[in-house]
Structure 1
Amino acid sequence: MGATDRLDRYQPLVLGLFRIVIGLLFTSEGAATLFGVLDRDATPAGDWPFWYAGVIELVCGLLVLLGVLARAAAFFSSGAMAFAYFTEHQPDGLFPLQNGGLAPALFCWGFLLLVFFGPGSLSLSGVFRRDAAPERRG
């Protein structure tokens, strides 16, 4: 068994941990925007596009964090971050380091990764799926 084989067997776990961390970070962005926590002022309700982005961040972040409808939530989140990058950041410069759009760019690509690779292990949907699966009799 080579080093690659040993690493490969941990892919579902590491992907699950990645999903949890990115979901937690995204949820904290939404909570900060909507509720004014974490040294940030709350955005007034209905303020376009920031309040709506906060709702997406909070709801989709929680779904990704918990691993419930994770692919759909990650797809929606990736699109929202692409929109944020191109409408709010990209006009100020081509590269994320120039325009302050590093977080949206990283979130966009991180969520896109989850769309294609799935939630990994440690997801609530995986727990429910295992419990709902009929037992096989040999």
Structure 2
Amino acid sequence: MMFNRYGGITLSLFRIVVGLLFTFHGLATMFGVFGGHRGTGRAAELLAWPNWWAALIQLVCGALVMTGLFTRVAALLASGSMAYAYFVVHQPQDLLPLRNGGELAALFCWSFFLIAVLGPGTWALDALLRRPAEAHDQAGAPAPAPAPLRRSARVD
């Protein structure tokens, strides 16, 4: 099946792109680069709730997800932060994401939730760290365990 062959690599590419974009949001808000916080050209005020803390989550979790290190935990935290952003910041303005400006928060939320559920894919630091403990096939799935050795019947 085609998915089995390319699924792990495709998931890795998806994870890398989503993590990179999230990291850019954190950098923009925290340090004022790439147009700054909400396009103002400025950084969020140090320790200001919720902007600076959201930027910290975006920066750290985005980098972890992008590299595939502690992927499931980082993706779950990132997903939750985007759910918070949607329901606290965007949803009170209007119910529909197209009218409340929350499309990006919703997309990030569900993208990170997907990564948290499916895992990091084939190309990830998590896979390298677990590789010595268990063998993997080329698609990234654990290889079947070898059959236990049996004692042969002794003939005298």
> What TM-score do the two structures reach when normalised by structure 2?
0.80
Give the Cα–Cα distance (whole angstroms) in 1 for the partners of residues 93 and 34 of structure 2: 26
Give the Cα–Cα distance (whole angstroms) in 1 for the partners of residues 13 and 106 of structure 2: 20
The change in CA–CA distance for 1:133 and 1:102 in structure 2 (over 3 A counts) is same
Query: 1:125 maps to which residue?
Result: 126
1:110 paired to 2:106: no
Give the Cα–Cα distance (whole angstroms) in 1 for the partners of residues 83 and 3 of structure 2: 31
Query: 1:98 maps to which residue?
Result: 99
**Which secondary structure state, in structure 2, belongs to the residue aligned with residue 57 of structure 1?**
helix
**Which secondary structure state, in structure 1, belongs to the residue aligned with residue 91 of structure 2?**
helix
Q: 1:25 aligns with which of 14, 21, 31?
A: 21
Letter in 2 for 1:95: L
Offset, 1:121: 1.2
Give the Cα–Cα distance (whole angstroms) in 2 for the partners of residues 71 and 57 of structure 1: 15
The change in CA–CA distance for 1:134 and 1:100 in structure 2 (over 3 A counts) is closer
Offset, 1:134: 6.7
Query: 2:52 maps to which residue?
Result: 51
Q: Deviations over 1:33-86 (max 9, x none)?
A: 000000111001111101000000000001100101000000111000000000
Q: Number of residue pairs matched?
A: 133
> What TM-score do the two structures reach when normalised by structure 1?
0.91
Query: 1:34 maps to which residue?
Result: 30
Give the Cα–Cα distance (whole angstroms) in 2 for the partners of residues 60 and 68 of structure 1: 9
Larger radius of gyration: 2
Letter in 2 for 1:9: R
The change in CA–CA distance for 1:24 and 1:98 in structure 2 (over 3 A counts) is same
Q: Structure 2: 5+ residue runs without aligned partners?
A: 37-41, 136-144, 148-156
The change in CA–CA distance for 1:42 and 1:113 in structure 2 (over 3 A counts) is same
Identity between Structure 1 and Structure 2 (%): 49
